[in-house]
Amino acid sequence: MSNWPKYDMEFLGGRRQRRLRSSAWMRDLVRETTLTPKDFILPMFIIDGQNEKTQIKTMPGIERLSVDLAVKAAKEAAAAGIPALALFPNTPAELRNADGSEAYNPDNLMCRALRAIKNAVPEIGLIADVALDEYSSDGQDGLVRDGEILNDETISAMVHSALVQAKAGADIIAPSDMMDGRVGAIRQELDAAGYEQVAIMAYSAKYASAFYGPFREAVGSGSRLLGDKKTYQLDFANSDEGLREVAQDIDEGADMVMVKPGMPYLDMVRRVRDSFNVPVFVYQVSGEYAMIRLAGDAGAIDGKAAMLESLWAFKRAGAKGVLTYFALDAARALGA
Ligand code: PBG
């Protein structure tokens, strides 16, 4: 090698890009984005009972928690600097029906969790998911009649659900169903009931995705679900259609919008960020968590490094924040 010709590198001129990567402090100095615990929203699965926690087989490290344990976890999250939680109930089978009427029971699991956490940890923000799959007997986000998902009837149920959640202490209502017109209807009725201060984070560009599998196990909707959600969630081949959904949700009154899933849809995060002037959130969904976590556990990748890299990628793509099951681990890894 020593007698190989040395290239005349004159063509580089001053463009030696590696200068800016030459040491840790230099990389810190020129780093374009930051990642802090303030960027995270921690999703939490709630179950009935006292001092109960149950394992989610497909999500090692994540447990469903009874309300009292959720309060403890909320305290830990607040102490780690995480600004908000996203709550999802696993409604007991006997309370589920075709109407999903448990969704608007003011004393349902979601409302009890909201009240308890709001009361014990007032400094953390509470995001309430609104969709019927967490309450209905058939696992669909909408009401089903003869195999059809009914749009407008579903919205009435969702409005009632959002109202009991707001009353119980939800700071942000997050409709995750992809029905047409739900943001406008929820905004109108929240205002009419005096909840003008309650914000709406719309799951706007939500794709019909295979990456939701572990979540459906976690909330108990997966084994009930017949068919798929393709008549309402977006086709993963489409990008412009996602932008139309975002535009419409903002028009109807969404304060913040979301892209979901995360890593396979970074292009959408960037497009939404460049096209609209509202905060954009991204959901690193259950299947993404499982992939990184299980591959890390198997020693195929460095799980902790991959976790941080994936979260940073969302910031680079333009996200204001990330819903992630890694929120606590990542906050700790970042030194919180
Ligand atoms: C349901 C809902 C889903 C998720 C959040 N809310 C699942 C679905 O649409 O089937 C997925 C979250 C995840 O996979 O982590 N309305």
d(CA 35, ligand 1 centre) in Å: 24
Q: Measured between alpha carbons, how far is 93 from 76 in angstroms, rounded to an integer?
A: 30
Pocket probe mutation, ligand 1, options 58, 134, 224, 285, max atoms within 8 Å of Cβ: 285
Q: Which band of pLDDT confidence, cut at 50, 70 and 90, is reported for residue 261?
A: very high
Average the pLDDT over 80-95 and give the result: 97
pLDDT of residue 8: 87
pLDDT, tens only, 197-215: 999 999 999 999 999 999 9
Per CATH, domain 35-335 is 3.20.20.70: yes
d(CA 229, ligand 1 centre) in Å: 11
Give percent of the chain above pLDDT 90: 92
pLDDT of residue 336: 63
Residue 148 has φ and ψ, to the nearest 5°, of: -100, 145
d(CA 16, ligand 1 centre) in Å: 46
**Who's near 15: CB < 8 A, 6+ residues apart?**
none
Annotated active-site residue 206? The verdict is yes
pLDDT higher than threshold 90 for residue 2: no
CB 154 within 8 A of CB 119: no
pLDDT, tens only, 102-155: 999 999 999 999 999 999 999 999 999 999 999 999 999 999 999 999 999 999
Pocket probe mutation, ligand 1, options 41, 56, 130, 133, max atoms within 8 Å of Cβ: 133
pLDDT, tens only, 293-325: 999 999 999 999 999 999 999 999 999 999 999
pLDDT of residue 213: 95
d(CA 127, ligand 1 centre) in Å: 14
Whether 136 is in the pocket of ligand 1, judged by its Cβ within 6 Å, is: no
Nearest protein Cα to ligand 1, atom 11 = 212
Whether 285 is in the pocket of ligand 1, judged by its Cβ within 6 Å, is: yes
pLDDT higher than threshold 70 for residue 273: yes
User: Out of 260, 304, 315, 320, which one is annotated catalytic?
Assistant: 260
User: Out of 38, 57, 118, 206, which one is annotated catalytic?
Assistant: 206
Residues facing 173 on adjacent strands: 128, 200
List the beta strands (DSSP E) in 19-124. Answer: 40-47, 53-55, 63-66, 84-89
- What single-letter amino acid sits at 2? S
pLDDT, tens only, 43-85: 999 999 999 999 999 999 999 999 999 999 999 999 999 999 9
Nearest protein Cα to ligand 1, atom 10 = 212
pLDDT higher than threshold 70 for residue 162: yes
CB 324 within 8 A of CB 311: yes
Q: Measured between alpha carbons, how far is 140 from 132 in angstroms, rounded to an integer?
A: 7
CB 129 within 8 A of CB 105: no
Whether 129 is in the pocket of ligand 1, judged by its Cβ within 6 Å, is: yes
Annotated active-site residue 53? The verdict is no
Whether 212 is in the pocket of ligand 1, judged by its Cβ within 6 Å, is: yes
